[in-house]
């Protein structure tokens, strides 16, 4: 190892760590570990508590302990019974001064046959279970020990780190045990090396009760006890969340200090809308949100607001009022939806109000004829079109706005960051940037909103319009199918309409699910013969889907068989029944969106979850994925509270899958958990936003380590947020 880098862990190549070498360093490079400091930053994915070392005489008592326990002794015998290549049973008898214990391996004889020798001093760890009526360990972890005097066991006798591995690492001898060995080698020579300075100044460490970097690294890899491990994990969870929140704080500061078009209001258009046109009164919650938007639009700085509201709460009307204020001040508004069906529906809903008020609006979606699109482009560019509603077609290069003042994005999580940026960049006004209003009907748990949307101001419509009745939800098994069909017929005969939703479009060889296309024929020709039954799914063209939805809205179709293409934004007030087939296969948020397609009129609505009979009987399912599905269905039938459903869905699916967080433009989290670490999120957020307020450009010397870390590890996110 070159002398000039001997003591600098951040510059010391990982191959110079004892036990690594050139070949293993190549394997470590595949996971981004190139320096000794990178190795220290390769954290365990979990820990094994092997502080409980038992004598073999106590093995029977250990069967009552659900956690892993450890036994230390010498191998008395190794017996192998082969049953074909690599298969069979291996039985090892471990002996100590109090007796013996059996350890068993099944169908892994080829791998383990030469791993153990009689007389070897060894430790086995695992859960004690019964095998042939005697206590034993099945497929236990093991640690070859040097001698009986060695109390400093590397893999046994303490809280043991388990590292994530890959096939490339394992092929190089770097399974979790191998990584523990080289990590121990690094820590053994710990005093010879010099860590980079702790990026956190003393003030942040002390105020937030955080371990210093060196102690935290030591305890996260080789914890003294559970308490010290918790301290170390908290330090690095805080660090992850702090930098994430700091990025958001920087973006927020950039937005708050940027100029934006000033939009005054509300004026005559809003007055006419509320006094002459709207057939209903705004709720108190809607009025509160509108006042927040009014303040933002007139501030001279860009509005960057997230509007949350459950399905049917009236978000579109709020957006319409913001659009009217924008137009009355001489600016244009763009309304972007994730699908053509939803864009067309928003256009139909909003246009009826705009036409009455004399405001020109255009719909811009894919599939329009060339001449028609050219006219739309021209109207947008010369300013004769005041409002544009569409899909991602709005952000095409040919679209040029005359004076874009407001952008409304519906169901924002369905757009990538680059798409949103492209729309914002459509404005070249000298007066400043356009305002941004993001709407979502998917309730966002607070912990997720503080991270993904931590740079946005949040408004919540938490009051439903007057006259809306609570949707009745029921879980039904196959035994009740005939009654369910009878109920749907009764509803249709009473003048109402129904959805029947399936998870697939066509039958799959890998699935036994009934599919919409096959079931549609039977429902149309047999079950609901005499009624008008339609079919809609994602493989249809946009024009076909629009025609079907228009017919359903006009009640030319009584029963609509569908896939989840109708999940978001479909508004048919006369539809009162939502039958979801194979409901156990749907996620909670998806079920919530489907249920939101009904209950939008004055009639009582019903959501029926159809599933196998075994999900109805608690005695038939107790554990496993089926039990989780049953729990999910029971929760859904017990509440219509979208936020409660979203919190539970976040717990089941995790933050990465809940909302497509990869689109957020923010760094991923390795240690922090958005569900369990709420207190750390709040703590890190306070510290990060305080720092951004006090030193917005991180120019003070004591913050140089934070700035260097931000630029080194989060450069892509930092540049994105700084620029936007």
Boundary (domain end) residue, out of 612, 639, 666: 639
What is the pLDDT at residue 253?
A: 84
Claim to verify: residue 89 and residue 189 sit in the same structural domain? no
The CATH number given to whatever domain includes residue 532 is: 3.40.50.300
Is the pLDDT confidence value at 326 over 70?
A: yes
Question: Do the domain assignments include residue 673?
Answer: no
pLDDT tens digits, one per residue of 109-153:
666 667 788 998 888 888 999 888 899 999 888 877 655 444 445
Q: Is 427 helix (H, G, I), strand (E, B) or coil?
A: coil
Give the angle 484-485-486 at the CA atoms, nearest 5°: 90
Claim to verify: residue 381 and residue 320 sit in the same structural domain? yes
Better pLDDT: 332 or 678: 332
Question: Do the domain assignments include residue 545?
Answer: yes
Question: Do the domain assignments include residue 403?
Answer: yes
Of 176, 189, 163, 165, the closest CA to residue 36 belongs to 189
Claim to verify: residue 37 and residue 57 sit in the same structural domain? no
> The tokens of 304 are what?
């960057």
Better pLDDT: 81 or 380: 380
The CATH number given to whatever domain includes residue 33 is: 1.10.150
Range with the poorest average pLDDT among 36-40, 185-189, 392-396, 403-407:
392-396
Claim to verify: residue 9 and residue 62 sit in the same structural domain? no
What is the pLDDT at residue 505?
A: 57
Task: Indicate the number of domains in the chain.
Answer: 4
- Beta pairing partners, 162: 46
Chain centroid offset of residue 344 CA: 28
Chain centroid offset of residue 192 CA: 42
Indicate the pLDDT class of residue 412, thresholds 50, 70 and 90: low
What is the pLDDT at residue 110?
A: 64
- Burial group, residue 697, by CB count within 10 angstroms (0-12, 13-18, 19+): exposed
Of 592, 526, 577, 533, the closest CA to residue 557 belongs to 533
Using CA atoms, how far apart are residues 262 and 405, in angstroms rounded to an integer? 9
Question: Do the domain assignments include residue 102?
Answer: yes
Half-sphere exposure of 658 (CA within 13 A, CB side): 22
Claim to verify: residue 599 and residue 514 sit in the same structural domain? yes
Indicate the pLDDT class of residue 176, thresholds 50, 70 and 90: confident
pLDDT tens digits, one per residue of 481-517:
999 999 999 999 999 999 999 987 555 544 545 577 8
Using CA atoms, how far apart are residues 176 and 166, in angstroms rounded to an integer? 10
Range with the poorest average pLDDT among 10-14, 394-398, 507-511, 693-697:
507-511
Using CA atoms, how far apart are residues 378 and 155, in angstroms rounded to an integer? 71
Question: Do the domain assignments include residue 379?
Answer: yes
CA dihedral 391, 395, 400, 401 (to 10 degrees): 60
Averaged pLDDT, 82-108: 84
Average pLDDT of every residue of the chain: 84
What is the pLDDT at residue 499?
A: 95
Is the pLDDT confidence value at 346 over 60?
A: yes
- Beta pairing partners, 535: 561
Listed ranges 41-50, 422-431, 503-512; the one with the highest mean pLDDT: 41-50
Check if the beta carbon of residue 390 is closer than 8 Å to that of residue 370: no
Which residue carries 């979606």 as its tokens?
365
Claim to verify: residue 288 and residue 436 sit in the same structural domain? yes
- Burial group, residue 89, by CB count within 10 angstroms (0-12, 13-18, 19+): middle
Range with the poorest average pLDDT among 2-16, 63-77, 225-239, 389-403:
2-16
Averaged pLDDT, 185-194: 83
Indicate the pLDDT class of residue 155, thresholds 50, 70 and 90: low
What is the pLDDT at residue 85?
A: 61
Claim to verify: residue 2 and residue 136 sit in the same structural domain? no
Which residue carries 């009740």 as its tokens?
480
pLDDT tens digits, one per residue of 538-551:
778 877 887 898 89
Averaged pLDDT, 371-388: 93
What is the pLDDT at residue 585?
A: 85
Question: Do the domain assignments include residue 483?
Answer: yes
Check if the beta carbon of residue 261 is closer than 8 Å to that of residue 431: yes
Of 8, 46, 30, the closest CA to residue 673 belongs to 46
Question: Do the domain assignments include residue 489?
Answer: yes
Boundary (domain end) residue, out of 194, 222, 249: 194
Is the pLDDT confidence value at 205 over 90?
A: yes
Boundary (domain end) residue, out of 399, 422, 440: 440
Better pLDDT: 426 or 147: 426
Indicate the pLDDT class of residue 656, thresholds 50, 70 and 90: low
Range with the poorest average pLDDT among 472-476, 505-509, 556-560, 588-592:
505-509
Q: Is 498 helix (H, G, I), strand (E, B) or coil?
A: strand
The CATH number given to whatever domain includes residue 66 is: 2.40.50.140
What is the pLDDT at residue 661?
A: 43
Parallel, antiparallel, or unpaired: how do β-strands 559-562 and 533-536 relate? parallel
Task: Report if pTM > 0.85.
Answer: no
Is the pLDDT confidence value at 425 over 50?
A: yes
Claim to verify: residue 73 and residue 31 sit in the same structural domain? no
Beta strands in 191-248 (DSSP E): none
CA dihedral 71, 74, 79, 82 (to 10 degrees): 60
Question: Do the domain assignments include residue 162?
Answer: no
Q: Domain of residue 634: give its range.
A: 472-639
Better pLDDT: 661 or 92: 92
Using CA atoms, how far apart are residues 499 and 479, in angstroms rounded to an integer? 20
Claim to verify: residue 61 and residue 35 sit in the same structural domain? no
What is the pLDDT at residue 237?
A: 95
What is the pLDDT at residue 492?
A: 96
DSSP string over 100-158: EEEEEEES-HHHHTTT--TT-EEEEEE-EEEETTEEEEES-EEEE-S-TT----SSSSS
- Burial group, residue 28, by CB count within 10 angstroms (0-12, 13-18, 19+): buried
Q: Is 624 helix (H, G, I), strand (E, B) or coil?
A: helix
> The tokens of 670 are what?
């390795």
Check if the beta carbon of residue 514 is closer than 8 Å to that of residue 581: yes
Claim to verify: residue 546 and residue 610 sit in the same structural domain? yes
Of 139, 121, 153, 147, the closest CA to residue 50 belongs to 153
Q: Is 312 helix (H, G, I), strand (E, B) or coil?
A: coil
Chain centroid offset of residue 228 CA: 30
Parallel, antiparallel, or unpaired: how do β-strands 361-364 and 387-390 relate? parallel
- Burial group, residue 429, by CB count within 10 angstroms (0-12, 13-18, 19+): middle
Claim to verify: residue 350 and residue 416 sit in the same structural domain? yes
pLDDT tens digits, one per residue of 675-708:
788 899 999 999 999 999 999 888 899 999 999 8
Which residue carries 């004076």 as its tokens?
403
- Burial group, residue 512, by CB count within 10 angstroms (0-12, 13-18, 19+): exposed
Helix (H) or strand (E) holding 407: strand 404-410
Claim to verify: residue 64 and residue 18 sit in the same structural domain? no
Which residue carries 């760890």 as its tokens?
125
């Amino acid at each position: 190892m070159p002398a000039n880098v001997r003591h600098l862990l951040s510059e010391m190549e990982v191959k110079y760590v004892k036990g690594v070498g050139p070949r293993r360093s190549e394997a470590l490079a595949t996971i981004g570990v190139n320096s000794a400091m990178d190795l220290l930053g390769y954290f365990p994915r979990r820990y094994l508590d092997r502080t409980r070392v038992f004598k073999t005489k106590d093995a029977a008592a250990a069967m009552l302990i659900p956690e892993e326990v450890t036994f230390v002794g010498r191998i008395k015998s190794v017996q192998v019974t082969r049953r074909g290549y690599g298969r069979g049973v291996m039985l090892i008898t471990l002996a100590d001064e109090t007796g013996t214990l059996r350890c068993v391996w099944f169908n892994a004889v080829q791998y383990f046959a030469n791993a153990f020798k009689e007389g070897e001093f060894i430790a086995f760890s695992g859960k004690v279970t019964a095998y042939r009526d005697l206590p034993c360990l099945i497929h236990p972890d093991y640690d070859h020990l040097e001698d009986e005097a060695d109390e400093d066991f590397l893999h046994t006798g303490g809280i043991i780190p388990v590292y994530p591995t890959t096939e490339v690492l394992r092929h190089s001898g770097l399974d979790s045990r191998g990584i523990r060995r080289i990590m121990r080698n690094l820590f053994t020579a710990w005093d010879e090396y010099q860590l980079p300075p702790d990026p956190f100044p003393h003030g942040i460490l002390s105020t937030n009760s955080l371990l210093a970097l060196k102690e935290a690294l030591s305890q996260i890899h080789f914890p003294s006890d559970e308490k010290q491990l918790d301290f170390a994990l908290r330090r690095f969870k805080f660090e992850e969340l702090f930098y994430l929140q700091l990025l958001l704080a920087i973006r927020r500061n950039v937005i708050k200090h940027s100029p934006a078009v000033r939009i005054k209001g509300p004026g005559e258009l809003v007055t006419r809308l509320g006094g002459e046109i709207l057939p209903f009164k705004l709720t108190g919650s809607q009025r509160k949100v509108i006042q927040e938007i009014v303040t933002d639009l007139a501030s001279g700085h860009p509005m960057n607001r997230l509007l949350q509201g459950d399905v049917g709460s009236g978000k579109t009307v709020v957006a319409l009022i913001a659009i009217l204020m924008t137009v009355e001040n001489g600016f244009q508004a763009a309304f972007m939806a994730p699908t053509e069906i939803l864009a067309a529906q928003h256009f139909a809903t909003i246009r009826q109000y705009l036409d009455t008020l004399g405001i020109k609006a255009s719909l811009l979606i894919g599939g329009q004829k060339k001449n028609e699109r050219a006219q739309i482009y021209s109207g947008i560019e010369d300013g004769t079109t005041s409002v544009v509603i569409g899909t991602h077609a709005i952000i095409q290069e040919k679209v040029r706005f005359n004076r874009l003042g407001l952008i409304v994005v519906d169901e924002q999580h369905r757009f990538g960051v680059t798409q949103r940026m492209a729309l914002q960049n459509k404005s070249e006004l000298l007066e400043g940037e356009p305002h941004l209003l993001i709407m979502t009907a998917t309730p966002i748990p607070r912990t997720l909103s503080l991270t993904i949307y931590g740079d946005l101001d949040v408004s919540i419509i938490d009051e439903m319009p007057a006259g809306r009745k609570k949707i009745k939800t029921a879980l039904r098994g196959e035994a009740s199918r005939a009654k369910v069909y009878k109920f749907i017929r009764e509803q249709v005969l009473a003048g109402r309409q129904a959805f029947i939703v399936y998870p697939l479009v066509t039958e799959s060889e890998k699935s036994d699910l009934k599919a919409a296309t096959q079931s549609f024929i039977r429902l149309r020709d047999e079950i609901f013969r005499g009624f008008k039954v339609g079919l809609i799914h994602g493989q249809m063209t946009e024009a076909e889907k629009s025609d079907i939805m228009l017919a359903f809205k006009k009640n030319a179709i009584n029963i609509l068989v569908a896939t989840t293409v109708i999940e978001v934004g479909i508004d048919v007030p006369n539809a009162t029944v939502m039958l979801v087939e194979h409901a156990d296969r749907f996620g909670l948020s998806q079920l919530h969106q489907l249920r939101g397609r009904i209950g939008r009129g004055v009639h009582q609505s019903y959501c029926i979850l159809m599933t196998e009979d075994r999900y109805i009987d608690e005695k038939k399912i107790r554990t496993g994925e089926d039990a989780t599905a049953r729990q999910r269905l029971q929760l859904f039938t017990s509440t219509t509270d979208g936020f409660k459903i979203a919190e539970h869905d976040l717990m089941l699916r995790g933050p990465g899958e809940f909302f497509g967080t990869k689109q957020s433009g923010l760094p991923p989290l390795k240690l922090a958990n958005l569900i369990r670490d709420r207190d750390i999120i709040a703590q890190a957020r306070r510290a990060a936003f305080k720092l951004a307020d006090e030193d917005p450009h991180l120019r003070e010397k004591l913050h140089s380590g934070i700035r260097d870390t931000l630029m080194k590890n989060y450069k892509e996110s930092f540049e994105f947020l700084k620029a936007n």
